Amino acid sequence: MAANAPKVHFNVELAEAERAQDAKKLEPYAVQIGDRVITMTDANDLDWKVLLEIEHPVEFLKFCVPADDREFLRKQNISGYVFNEMIEGYTRHYGLGSKGNGAASRI
């Protein structure tokens, strides 16, 4: 290492490798609607910039619900309260924190 090189405090590649190991320990977030179980996309696998964009149920559907389940979910009669609880459960499960007053509250 060069004498003037800064000390490295965080290595993205090592963190990604650790994340891959941790992912094996956390069960997926799944919801049941009638007889159907939908397993959501693991938030830890999403790009961090995508997580910043999820402020509206449409973004949640786009990024967190598998493509083959999106249309099914859109056709369901679910109250806003219950849908919001489902999203909040997802954020708690993956440790994303509260939606708060926008994306900045997650960082």
Q: Is the pTM of this model over 0.85?
A: no
What would you measure as the largest C-alpha separation in the chain, in angstroms?
A: 63
Q: Are the C-beta atoms of 42 and 90 separated by less than 8 Å?
A: no
Look up tokens 């849908």; give the residue. Answer: 83
Residues 1-51 pLDDT 10s: 567 889 988 899 998 888 777 767 789 999 999 999 999 998 888 888 888
Amino acid at 23: A
Q: Give the model's pLDDT for residue 29.
A: 94
CA distances from residue 71 to 28, 60, 61, 91, 92 in whole angstroms, order as listed: 20, 13, 9, 22, 25
Model confidence at 107: pLDDT above 70: no
| Beta bridge pairs of residue 30 | 39
**CA–CA distance, 54 with 64 (Å, rounded to integer):** 9
Residues 64-95 pLDDT 10s: 999 999 999 999 999 999 999 999 999 889 88
